[in-house]
Structure 1
Amino acid sequence: MAEIRLNAVAKAFRETRAVEALTLTVGDGEFVVLLGPTGAGKTTTLRLVAGLEAPDAGSVFIGGRDVTAEPPAVRDVAFVFQQYSLYPHLSVYDNLAFPLRSPTRRTPEAEIRAKVDSIARLLHIEGKLANRATELSGGQMQRVAIGRALVRSPAVYLMDEPLSSLDAKLRAELRLELKHIQQDLGATMLYVTHDQTEAMTMASRIGVIDRGRLVQVGSPREIYENPVNTYVATRLGQPGINLVPAGVFRDSGLPSATQTVGVRTEHLAIAKGGPGLAATVTRIEHLGDQSHLHLDLTGRTIVTLADPDSAFAAGDRVGVSLKGALLFDANGERVAA
């Protein structure tokens, strides 16, 4: 495996600046997730690493070697796309074996058979090797696409939202499998997604990207607990963080620079007839193991979690107290508590 290093990489498409002076290091054997909405520059960053796009500025290093001017074929990367990109006329076995039969890395058939069988068992598709790719379910097709990358043992793996088109149950299963595989192989992996659950559960570190700029890099816990601004704060958390004008909590002794208070569910104490600000329960969403509690707080809606067997009901008057919060200034930047 190998380290990935991007030094002040930039890429524009006509008037659109897709990536702007992005600097990032993915350590050898590390699983880094780029998190951001559609259009943030995540896929373009992957394509710059793979050599599918040429940077307008900056440089790309893989394994300590400057590959900025090298074509994709010699960079020794495997790319898993959002869509399956399988060869429909080939069997699952031949799809998996295809990278090992290319002229640049011709492999003996016995070795191909051993590698394909091993990866198929790892991904639980060993019973589908004789099937055509078109005879598989969506989840099985995605496993084949991932397997085609794994069978090569490249220097680095690049993954572009490979689970986004799967149903929720299968996404959860493959998240666990993919993380286990990455750990077992000691693979260097750069993975992009807009899904906060994927980022939180899979990443060694998360890089939050906004309009081509890398805003913050850190462990999932660091990103969640210590976001540098409101943009980062809204990327993680379920339910999402509540951004409330500081004036609502004017008696809470907030620093003078505070304009917005970021309130997560763990920052609130709620009790019927309890102390604090008066609020009204407007709606309860029962989600089985937990409930989302919607409150009207001085005309503003905030959402928090409640125990599923709590006695709250729509229309209840409750007291809301802060137990800590994230504070932001007028520009949305973090203010020290």
Structure 2
Amino acid sequence: MAEIHLESVTKRFGDVAAVQDIDLVVQDGEFVVLLGPTGAGKTTTLRLIAGLEKPTEGRVLIGGHDAAPRSPAERDVAFVFQQYSLYPHLSVYDNLAFPLRAPVRRQSREDIHKAVERVARMLRIDHKLENRATRLSGGEMQRVAIGRALVRQPSVYLMDEPLSSLDAKLRSELRLELQHIQRDLGATMLYVTHDQIEAMTMATRIGVLDHGRLVQIGTPREIYESPRNTYVATRLGMPAINLLPAGAFAGAAMPPGTTLIGARTEHIVVDRGQGGGPRARVEWIEHLGDQNHLHLVMGDHRLVTLVGADTNLSVGDELQVSLRRPLFFAADGERIAA
């Protein structure tokens, strides 16, 4: 396995900077997820590492060596795309074996068979090895696509939203499988997604991208609890973080310069008390089985909080609102320390 190091990497397409001055280190054996919306520069970053694009500025290092002189085939990376990209006329076995039959590898038939059988068992598709790729379900095809990368045992795995086209149940299953595989192999993986659940549940560290810039990188807990700005704060959390003007909590203690207050759903406390704090009206209750989302109207502002499944609140109830562990932001959206 190998470390990935991006040194001040920028990639421009004409006047458009798809990636801007990114410094990123993915340690050997680490599972890093790049999170951001469409157009944030996630896929371009992977393509730069794979050698499918050349940086306009900066350097890409793999295993401590400058990757610039190396072609994509020489970089020893495996790329798993969003679409399955299988050979439809080949069986599952032959799709998995294809990378090992390349002239540059020249592996024996016995070694290829052992590698294919091992990966197929790992991904639970060993009973499908004789099937044509066109006779598989979506989840099975994605397993084959992932297996074709795993069978090579490259230095680095690059994954470009490989689960996004699957249904929710399959995504959940494959998230767990990828975590186990990465841990068992000790593999270096760089995975990109716009799905916050994938990022939170899979990553060793999350890097948040915004218009080609790496805004913040840290553990999932660090990104969630200590976002650098409002952009990062809104990337994680479901429902999204509540952002309210400081004036909505006039009189509350807050650092100088605070313009916005951020409150996660679990950090909003409501009760029927009659204290002097702000009050809100229950507008809607979403019943989710184990808990409820409480939609509130507080003056001109709306917010969402969590309450237990056995709540006795009703639409129209008037409640007192208080915050615990709120986040404070300046006018430019940057975080202010409490």
Shorter-chain TM-score category?
over 0.9
Q: Which residue of 1 aligns with 2:284?
A: 283
Aligned to 1:225: 225
**How far does residue 198 in structure 1 lie from its aligned partner after superposition?**
0.4
Count of aligned pairs between the two proteins: 337
Q: Please report the TM-score for the alignment, with normalisation by the length of structure 1.
A: 0.99
What are the within-5 Å matches in structure 2 for residues 32-181 of structure 1? 32-181=32-181
Task: Check the 8 A contact 1:91/1:131 in 2, yes or no.
Answer: yes
Match of residue 253 from structure 2: 253
The SS at the match of 2:95 is: helix
RMSD: 0.9
Q: Aligned residue for 2:26?
A: 26
Deviation at 1:268, TM superposition (A): 1.2
Map Cα deviations across residues 257-315 of structure 1 (whole Å, 9 max, x no partner).
Answer: 00000111232111123543110010111122222110001121101112122112111
How much does 1:215 deviate?
0.4
The one-character-per-residue Cα deviations of 1:74-127 (angstroms, maximum 9, x if unpaired) are 000000000000000100000000000011112111111111111111101011
TM-score w.r.t. the length of structure 2 is: 0.98
Whole-angstrom CA distance in 1 between matches of 2:288 and 2:68: 48
**Distance in 1 between the 2:265 and 2:207 partners?**
24
Paired AA for residue 319 in structure 1: Q
Distance 1:254 1:3 in 2: 42
What amino acid maps onto 1:106 in structure 2?
A: R
CA shift for structure 1 position 184: 0.2
Deviation at 1:15, TM superposition (A): 2.0
- CA 1:274–1:131: 2 relative to 1, 3 Å: farther
CA distance in 1, matches of 2:78, 2:289: 40
**Aligned twin of 1:7:** 7
Give the secondary structure class of the aligned counterpart of 1:103: coil
Q: Distance in 1 between matches of 2:17 and 2:33?
A: 21
**2: distance between equivalents of 1:144 and 1:288?**
36
Q: Which stretches of structure 1, 4 residues or longer, exceed 4 Å deviation after superposition?
A: none
Return the alpha-carbon distance in structure 2 between the equivalents of residues 261 and 202 of structure 1.
29
Is contact 1:286-1:292 (8 Å) kept? yes
Determine helix, strand or coil for the equivalent of 1:315.
coil
Q: CA deviation digits over 1:195-229, x for unaligned, max 9? A: 00000000000000000000001000000000010
Report what 1:293 is aligned to.
294
CA distance in 1, matches of 2:305, 2:36: 23
Structure 1 unpaired stretches of 5+: none
Distance 1:239 1:268 in 2: 13
> Match of 1:234, as an amino acid?
T
Shift of the alpha carbon at 1:177?
0.5
Give structure 2 stretches of 5+ with no counterpart. none
- The alignment partner of 1:184 has SS state of helix
Deviations 1:222-260 (A, max 9, x none): 000000100000000111101100010111021220000
Cross-structure match for 2:326: 325
Amino acid at match of 2:187: A
Distance of 2:214 and 2:35 partners within structure 1: 10
For 1:250, give the aligned amino acid: A
